[in-house]
Copies of this chain bind each other. A is one copy, B any other.
């Protein structure tokens, strides 16, 4: 997706030439293009990012900076700066090293261009909108299982499916296989690596006698939750495939936890405050029996705990993670006993979740690492 974005930006810039360069001021060089756009380029940044073979290894198998911190002089200055190839390249002589930057390379990375910065930020596919009930019903994207899984000539379906998962938090594959238990694994192999957990490589949810998880226990519906709250870093994506229809019930209902968080931020600031500032602890103890590395059924004992805020914010106060599961919520509150009743009033308050029509699953949006 990185290359795709870069290609899109570059193609629109190939026609623009460099008009002139100015003397550097405070170690910043100004480049002006023929269409009137200007860019400020710190000298040390130009040296550090120089696409020459002593600075970078650029091969099909790897792109990596060769320079180490020990040999890099952060105060170095160019010996000579020129324009070459009919003003399509900026050429800098650092004394022993020559840097050649094409006009489009510089435009795409222009450190003073807000649009270039914005495009770069979009590479991370941060969800810009959240979904209530109406939006989910209206906007939920569906893709053909066959196109996403098998179309090797064009990866457009796969790309659009993954983009929807990252930006919307959820997407549907239609016309999946019937009568197979490998569907989830097959999609996992198609898009990345499967994050094995203490329930095995694939977690088959069915009612069983020795239930090691509430999803195994036949007690009606599950309350709203995110999976694996007892882990600091649970798997980032979840896939569900219905192998067999339940005799009764069997609905899966989803809610955009980011949407609930944004509603709380506005409508119940005191709840938002407690959920973003107080750690909750989750404990998961027990065992599960599933196929082990030797291919035989093995008993996997687990005894895990994790502590985190229900709503996690980043440095810009954006919601970046939701983690909550009442079944595994612990007895431990790291606060004064006098605060406990109030935490319960805010956290374990059914009114909060009535907002989202008691959807069964909370979806925790995160982006793909890979």
Interface residues in chain A, defined as those with a beta carbon under 8 Å from any beta carbon in chain B: 1-3, 26-28, 40-45, 48-49, 57, 59-72, 74, 109, 111-112, 117, 120-121, 123-124, 189, 193-198, 210-214, 216-217, 219, 223-224, 231-233, 236, 277, 283-288, 293, 302-307, 315, 326-329, 331-334, 336-338, 340-341, 344-345, 348-350, 352-353, 358, 367, 369-370
Contacts and interface: CB of A to CB of B under 8 A. Distances in A.
16 contacts: A2-B283, A42-B340, A44-B341, A45-B337, A57-B214, A60-B286, A60-B287, A61-B287, A62-B214, A64-B214, A64-B328, A65-B326, A65-B327, A69-B350, A72-B348, A74-B348
A74 B217 CA distance: 26
A49 B331 contact: yes
B370 A302 contact: yes
Given A338-B28, A353-B70, A63 B286 contact: yes
Given A65-B327, A111-B333, A293 B189 contact: yes
A341 B68 contact: no
A26 B349 CA distance: 19
Contacts of A212: 61-62
Given A70-B350, A305-B2, A353-B70, A341 B42 contact: yes
Ranked 8 nearest A-B pairs via Cβ: A68-B223, A42-B340, A61-B212, A40-B337, A64-B327, A62-B286, A111-B337, A49-B331
A304 to B, nearest CB: 6
Given A3-B303, A344-B44, A74 B349 contact: yes
Contacts of A62: 211-214, 216-217, 285-286
Contacts of A72: 348, 350
Nearest to A292: B189
B28 A337 contact: yes
Contact of A26 (B315, B328, B329, B338): B338
A121 to B, nearest CB: 7
A45 B344 contact: yes
Given A337-B112, A353-B69, A303 B223 contact: no
A349 B286 contact: no
Contacts of A71: 350
Given A59-B211, A328-B64, A353-B70, A304 B117 contact: no
A244 to B, nearest CB: 22
Contacts of A69: 223-224, 326, 348-350, 352-353
Most buried by B among A61, A189, A302: A61
A65 B189 contact: no
A337 B27 CA distance: 10
A2 B331 contact: no
Contacts of A370: 198, 231, 302, 304
A223 B70 contact: yes
Nearest to A70: B350
A67 B329 CA distance: 11
Most buried by B among A124, A189, A349, A369: A369
A210 B61 contact: yes
Given A65-B326, A111-B336, 12 more contacts: A40-B337, A40-B338, A43-B341, A45-B344, A63-B285, A64-B328, A68-B326, A70-B350, A70-B353, A72-B348, A74-B345, A194-B196
A111 B124 CA distance: 42
Contacts of A64: 213-214, 327-328
